[in-house]
């Protein structure tokens, strides 16, 4: 490798090469550092002379620049590389690049939802592309497996981040913001309140426990908290809730040994046309025992409205809103993980915040 | 390079430019950012943060949807309400799919970012990104140059490039340093939204939940705002510059005297 010289424009004719990676000779060091120095927008006084000079003097003109004055970015040092080897490296780099472009394009097509593909390409070419992709293993089933795996990985990360002792941030009552009714279907009517009772199964004592709203409120202390409800859609609202602690209910009616999950169900849930569409969520027992997890009966100091889950809803501020099931009718403690309504529709089943 | 030169050998003088990891992660960012924006906007569709009062005429309260409605009217597209999301995201009404895609790509983006930082450290590339006292003045000179380059070409007047003796000019340096900073910010605001309870301190760092959403959105706009001029200037700069990001070296030897 030749020392860098300002006039080194004809590298092919340079007579000798020194090994690459060698430190620049002091002469070159001294010649370059002042010019590359930071904080010197003005041209160094000797630069114009350098510009015009045919060649730099071979001997050092100045003492080496002290370390403190060294620029953070050393001057670029050109190296001479045999043409053949450079071509081979270039060829390899561009082959890798082309491979990456093809892999990215194929991967992008593979990951795209079917509806998006339908919008992007007409049926004929799309079918051709899909069958081509399937031939190299980029089939729809594999895509779902990969995306599910990513979702599970994200759930594992969330579980690792979770601490049962960490309290969710609480707010003052005057920080409450409007909370929308996000029932996916039609909001149930007041008829669900008649004769409502919470059914609990999977208990250590066996059998079924049935508790009315009055019995629940008479037996357990009413707790109040102002927390944020975060929806998977991205909106959030601060709300003032009142209810009994799920942990208190668990202490009074302990689950069967080995139970790890709570299957919560609203059998009165409706679809958009008003037909029965039971809603169900899976909650791990740890979340149920969290001190801020409530079986809420009140909002803003008044009994829950039908829009927000009367007569009783789950309020688990460590979980996304979709886990906060409204109008709960059944609680079952289970050993295997229960089904989850939105998980069956492509969302995470962990949903931890 | 240490091998002795034979008579038949010819050599090429090159300047090493980019570490292999920097090149790899640079190009990996292309599909990753593309996919993250496409899936991110499809997530944003579900609950836009920049909203106005409900407009019964358009059925929209979302400024981005409004933009799409305006364009769709111009081009006589029937799907006005979803035009924006159908053209700039994977589509409307597919939140679950968009979220799953976003998580896959976000984890890959974080891995990619970590590899990029390792590449910067291993190759010493960070030195070329480090800001220096002369940057403000130099950046202003570069802006003046870019503003004048087309008018002066039309007027056929000489318009010399300001002298640059470092690897990048001050504007490039600011832009390239902003990228890892922006990457860290977009990841931090993403986590603040993703786990606002367990990472409550991170959520507070963005004031509140919506603060993190706004920063996350702004980072996307900033990425897009960087990418457009970056691609134009890299192409304008020529083949040597484009090639250097693939092969890692350049044959453009800077002349120390007048850059």
Distance CA B131, CA B3 (A): 38
Minimum Cα–Cα distance from B194: chain A residue = A353
Range of the domain at A133: 89-138
Do A107 and A222 belong together in one domain?
A: no
Q: Please indicate whether, in this complex, the C-beta atoms of B256 and A150 are within 8 angstroms of each other.
A: no
Which residues of chain B lie closer than 8 angstroms to A75, CB-CB? 165, 256
Please say whether the beta carbons of B96 and A345 come within 8 A: yes
Q: What is the pLDDT of residues B165-180, one digit of tens each?
A: 788 888 888 889 999 9
CA atoms within 13 A on the CB side of A120: 17
pLDDT band at A31 (very low <50, low <70, confident <90, very high): very low
Q: Which residue has the higher pLDDT, A17 or A151?
A: A151
Distance CA A301, CA B109 (A): 45
Name the residue among B30, B165, B197 with its Cβ closest to that of A35.
Answer: B165
Over residues B34-43, mean pLDDT: 94
Do A55 and A129 belong together in one domain?
A: no
Is A323 a domain residue? yes
pLDDT band at A29 (very low <50, low <70, confident <90, very high): very low
Over residues A159-186, mean pLDDT: 89
Q: Which of A107, A151, A353 to mutate to test the interface with B (most CBs of B within 10 A)?
A: A353
Do A204 and A268 belong together in one domain?
A: yes
Q: Please indicate whether, in this complex, the C-beta atoms of B35 and A100 are within 8 angstroms of each other.
A: no
Is A84 a domain residue? no
Please say whether the beta carbons of A326 and A311 come within 8 A: no
Do A207 and A288 belong together in one domain?
A: yes
The predicted pLDDT at position A119 comes to 84
Q: What is the pLDDT of residues B79-133, one digit of tens each?
A: 888 888 888 898 888 999 999 999 999 999 999 999 999 999 998 888 888 888 8
CA distance B225 to chain A (A): 23
Does the pLDDT of residue A45 top 60, yes or no? no
Does the pLDDT of residue A17 top 80, yes or no? no
Do A107 and A235 belong together in one domain?
A: no
Average pLDDT, chain A: 81
The predicted pLDDT at position B5 comes to 53
Minimum Cα–Cα distance from A151: chain B residue = B100
Do A124 and A253 belong together in one domain?
A: no
Q: What angle do CA A250, A251, A252 make, to 5 degrees?
A: 90
Within 10 angstroms of residue B26's Cβ, the number of other Cβ atoms is: 16
- Reported as type and span, the H/E element at residue B207 is none
Percent of chain B with pLDDT strictly greater than 90: 45
Per-domain residue ranges for chain B?
124-250
The predicted pLDDT at position B207 comes to 92
Please say whether the beta carbons of A164 and B197 come within 8 A: no
Over residues A235-261, mean pLDDT: 94
Do A65 and A188 belong together in one domain?
A: no
Which residues of chain A lie closer than 8 angstroms to B100, CB-CB? 147-148, 150-151, 346
Is A159 a domain residue? no
For residue A177, give both structure tokens: 């913001």
Over residues A210-225, mean pLDDT: 93
Do A204 and A322 belong together in one domain?
A: yes
Distance CA B125, CA B159 (A): 30
Do A204 and A334 belong together in one domain?
A: yes
The predicted pLDDT at position A299 comes to 92
pLDDT band at A24 (very low <50, low <70, confident <90, very high): very low
The B residues from 68 to 107 touching A (CB cutoff 8 Å) are 86, 90-91, 94-97, 99-101, 103-104, 107
Which residues of chain A lie closer than 8 angstroms to B247, CB-CB? 89-90, 93-94
Average pLDDT, chain B: 88
Minimum Cα–Cα distance from A52: chain B residue = B257
In this structure, of A159-168, A276-285, B220-229, the range with the lowest mean pLDDT score is A159-168
The predicted pLDDT at position B128 comes to 86
Q: Please indicate whether, in this complex, the C-beta atoms of A41 and B197 are within 8 angstroms of each other.
A: no
Do A191 and A331 belong together in one domain?
A: yes
Is A152 a domain residue? no
Does the pLDDT of residue A130 top 90, yes or no? no
Which of the listed residues A99, A123, A138 is the one where a domain comes to its end? A138
Is A79 a domain residue? no
Do A107 and A29 belong together in one domain?
A: no
Predicted complex ipTM exceeds 0.85: no
Q: What is the pLDDT of residues A269-320, one digit of tens each?
A: 888 898 999 999 999 999 999 999 999 999 998 999 998 988 999 999 999 9
Which residues of chain B lie closer than 8 angstroms to A21, CB-CB? 1
Is A320 a domain residue? yes
In this structure, of A15-24, A82-91, A256-265, the range with the lowest mean pLDDT score is A15-24
Over residues A315-335, mean pLDDT: 93
Is A6 a domain residue? no
Is A227 a domain residue? yes
The structural domain count of chain A equals: 3
The predicted pLDDT at position A125 comes to 86
Q: Does residue A309 sit in helix, strand or coil? A: coil
Q: Which residue has the higher pLDDT, B111 or B256?
A: B111
Q: Which of A9, A12, A15, A41 to mutate to test the interface with B (most CBs of B within 10 A)?
A: A41
The predicted pLDDT at position B75 comes to 86
Name the residue among B5, B46, B49 with its Cβ closest to that of A17.
Answer: B5
Do A188 and A269 belong together in one domain?
A: yes
Is the CB of residue B138 less than 8 Å away from at least one CB of chain A?
yes
pLDDT band at B59 (very low <50, low <70, confident <90, very high): confident
CATH number at residue A233: 3.90.420.10
Minimum Cα–Cα distance from B168: chain A residue = A73
Phi, psi of A204 (to 5 degrees): -60, -35
Does the pLDDT of residue A58 top 60, yes or no? no
For residue A55, give both structure tokens: 């060649």
């Amino acid at each position: 490798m030749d020392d860098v010289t300002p006039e080194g424009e004809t590298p092919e004719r340079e007579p000798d090469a020194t090994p690459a990676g060698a430190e620049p000779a002091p002469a070159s060091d001294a010649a370059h550092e002042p010019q590359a120095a930071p904080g010197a927008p003005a041209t160094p006084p000797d630069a114009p002379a350098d510009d015009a000079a045919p060649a730099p003097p071979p001997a050092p003109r100045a003492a080496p620049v002290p370390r403190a004055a060294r620029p953070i970015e050393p001057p670029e040092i050109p190296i001479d590389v045999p043409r053949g080897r450079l071509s081979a490296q270039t060829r390899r780099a561009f082959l890798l690049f082309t491979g990456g472009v093809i892999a990215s394009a194929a991967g992008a097509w593979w990951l795209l939802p079917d509806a998006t593909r339908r919008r992007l390409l007409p049926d004929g070419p799309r079918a051709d592309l899909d069958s081509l992709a399937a031939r190299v293993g980029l089939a729809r089933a594999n895509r779902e497996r990969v995306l599910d795996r990513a979702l599970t990985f994200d759930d594992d990360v969330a579980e690792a981040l979770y601490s049962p002792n960490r309290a969710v941030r609480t707010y003052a009552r005057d920080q409450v913001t409007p909370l929308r009714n996000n029932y996916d279907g039609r909001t149930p009517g007041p008829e669900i309140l008649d004769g409502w009772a919470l059914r609990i199964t999977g208990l250590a004592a066996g059998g079924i426990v049935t508790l009315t709203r009055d019995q629940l409120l008479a037996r357990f202390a009413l707790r109040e908290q102002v927390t944020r409800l975060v929806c998977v859609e991205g909106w959030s609202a601060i709300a003032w809730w009142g209810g009994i602690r799920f942990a208190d209910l668990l202490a009074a009616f302990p689950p069967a040994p080995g139970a790890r999950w709570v299957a919560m169900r609203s059998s009165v849930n409706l679809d958009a046309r008003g037909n029965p569409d039971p809603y169900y969520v899976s909650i791990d027992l740890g979340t149920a025992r969290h001190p801020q997890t409530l079986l809420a009966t009140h909002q803003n100091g008044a009994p829950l409205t039908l829009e927000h889950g009367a007569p009783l809803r789950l309020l688990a501020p460590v979980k996304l809103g979709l886990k906060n099931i409204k109008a709960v009718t059944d609680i079952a403690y289970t050993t295997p993980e229960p089904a989850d309504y939105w998980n069956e529709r492509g969302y995470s089943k962990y949903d931890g915040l | 390079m240490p091998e002795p030169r034979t008579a038949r050998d010819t050599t090429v003088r090159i300047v090493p430019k980019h570490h292999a990891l920097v090149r790899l992660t640079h190009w990996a960012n292309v599909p990753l950012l593309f996919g993250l924006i496409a899936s991110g906007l499809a997530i944003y569709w579900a609950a836009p943060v920049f909203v106005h009062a409900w407009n019964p005429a358009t059925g929209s309260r979302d400024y981005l949807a409004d933009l799409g409605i305006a364009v769709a009217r111009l081009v006589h597209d029937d799907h006005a309400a979803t035009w924006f999301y159908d053209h700039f995201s994977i589509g409307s009404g597919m939140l679950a799919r968009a979220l799953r895609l976003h998580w896959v790509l976000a984890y890959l983006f974080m891995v990619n970012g970590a590899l990029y930082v390792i590449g910067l450290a291993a190759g010493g590339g960070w030195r070329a990104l480090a800001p220096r006292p002369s940057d403000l003045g130099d950046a202003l000179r570069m802006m003046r140059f870019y503003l004048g380059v087309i008018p002066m070409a039309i007027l056929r007047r000489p318009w010399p490039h300001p002298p640059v003796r470092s690897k990048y000019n001050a504007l490039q340096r600011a832009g390239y340093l902003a990228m890892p900073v922006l990457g860290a910010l977009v990841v931090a605001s993403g986590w603040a939204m993703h786990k606002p309870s367990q990472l409550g301190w991170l959520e507070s760092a963005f004031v509140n939940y919506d603060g993190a959403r706004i920063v996350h959105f702004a980072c996307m706009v900033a990425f897009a705002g960087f990418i457009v001029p970056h691609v134009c200037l890299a192409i304008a700069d020529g083949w040597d510059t484009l090639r250097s990001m693939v092969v890692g070296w350049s044959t453009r030897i800077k002349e120390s005297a007048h850059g």
